[in-house]
């Protein structure tokens, strides 16, 4: 019995075999071979609804669907690179009503009444809203959002590790923008140089923030254990030209009793990169 059965009395008996929904035909090439459907960035995104911990209003934030993007590789500072979408673009979330901004992992983290008051007085009262793209976020969208996250973190008196982590993610967003610049970008080399300078400024702040946090905070920091933060600081020090400190931190990982072999191998790679940068054999 089909959905259209019983129409015989109306002379429409032949309709019972009709498909209710037209099946999508697979795409084929000129040889008749089935071609896999190409996924776009929007295919791995979804809008989730959240309640702002400051103003209490609901809003939607665009997120990357869990498990829908495939990890391709990691940069030496652990920035993850995926096949379709860069998750860095969607980790900074801003309430469009009051301007409070935070990283996705902290969206439900409550604030003290004093912190809420500071956000309202120093951010919300001046906030003029933020554009919400209809499609995927650009790196410029992400960079703007990370700057708002950093502003909120500073205003609410966030820990050094929190501010350092936001600076790190902002640096990654700027790096992503540089890597995705079209070849026909006007004055591309000049633009790349400017983006490199901006990334270096972010990474320098991240390094200094994490370094300060070592003597003031307990682990885990931003969800990372001591070995992970030490390793990241080693690579950040290398990237911003503090090579002696980078070597010291890398050696700390290599001789650590608690660091895994994979982490130690990464630390050895840092030492090899520094040798190459110094022109040593």
* pLDDT over 60 (residue 37): no
| Residue 147, H or E segment | helix 139-155
* pLDDT over 80 (residue 26): no
* pLDDT over 60 (residue 36): no
Query: What's the pLDDT at 33?
Result: 63
Mean pLDDT of the 70-96 span? 94
Query: What's the pLDDT at 50?
Result: 95
Taking the model in full, what pTM does it have? 0.85
* pLDDT over 80 (residue 200): yes
Convert 214-262 into a string of H (helix), E (strand) and C (coil). HCCCCCCECCECHHHHHHHHHHHHHHCCCHHHHHHHHHHHHCCCCCCHH
Find, among 14, 17, 13, 12, the residue nearest to 2 by Cα. 17
Spatial separation of the C-alpha atoms in residues 87 and 64, rounded to whole Å: 6
* Number of residues that make up the chain: 281
For residue range 242-254, list pLDDT tens digits in order. Answer: 999 999 999 999 9
Query: What six digits make up the tokens of 12?
Result: 């429409």
* pLDDT over 60 (residue 230): yes
Output 2 or 203, whichever has higher pLDDT.
203
Query: What's the pLDDT at 263?
Result: 97
Domain boundaries, the chain: 8-224
* pLDDT over 60 (residue 279): yes
Output 247 or 40, whichever has higher pLDDT.
247
Task: Give me the numbers of helices (H) and strands (E) for the chain, helices first please.
Answer: 7, 6
Query: What's the pLDDT at 88?
Result: 96
In degrees to the nearest 10, what's the CA dihedral of 48, 49, 52, 56?
Answer: 180
Query: What's the pLDDT at 11?
Result: 75
Tokens 């009051």 locate to: 98
Query: What's the pLDDT at 6?
Result: 75
For residue range 54-68, list pLDDT tens digits in order. Answer: 999 999 999 988 888
For residue range 123-137, list pLDDT tens digits in order. Answer: 999 999 998 888 899
Query: What's the pLDDT at 84?
Result: 86
Percentage of the chain lying above the pLDDT 70 cut: 92
Query: What's the pLDDT at 13?
Result: 72
- 29 confidence band (pLDDT: 50, 70, 90): low
């Amino acid at each position: 019995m089909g959905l259209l059965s019983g129409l015989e009395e109306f002379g429409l008996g032949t309709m019972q075999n009709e498909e209710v929904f037209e099946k999508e035909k697979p795409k084929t090439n000129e040889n008749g071979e089935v071609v896999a459907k190409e996924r776009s960035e929007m295919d791995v995104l979804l809008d989730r609804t959240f309640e702002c911990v400051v103003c209490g209003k609901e809003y939607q934030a665009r997120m990357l669907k869990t498990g829908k993007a495939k990890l391709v590789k990691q940069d030496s500072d652990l920035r993850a690179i995926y096949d379709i979408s860069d998750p860095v673009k969607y980790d900074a979330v801003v309430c469009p009503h009051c301007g409070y901004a935070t990283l996705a992992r902290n969206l439900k983290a409550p604030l003290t009444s004093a912190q809420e008051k500071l956000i309202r007085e120093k951010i919300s009262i001046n906030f003029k809203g933020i554009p919400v793209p209809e499609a995927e976020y650009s790196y410029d969208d992400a960079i703007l959002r990370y700057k708002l996250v950093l502003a909120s973190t500073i205003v609410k008196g966030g820990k050094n590790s929190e501010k350092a982590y936001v600076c790190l993610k902002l640096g990654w967003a700027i790096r992503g923008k540089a890597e995705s610049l079209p070849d026909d970008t006007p004055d591309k080399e000049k633009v790349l140089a400017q983006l490199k300078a901006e990334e270096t400024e972010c990474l320098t702040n991240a390094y200094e923030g994490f370094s300060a946090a070592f003597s003031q905070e307990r682990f885990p920091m931003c969800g990372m254990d001591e070995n992970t933060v030490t390793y990241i600081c080693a690579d950040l020090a290398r990237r911003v030209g503090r090579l002696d400190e980078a070597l010291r931190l890398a050696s700390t990982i290599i001789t650590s009793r608690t660091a895994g072999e994979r982490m130690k191998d990464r630390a050895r790679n840092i030492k090899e990169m520094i040798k190459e940068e110094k022109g040593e054999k």
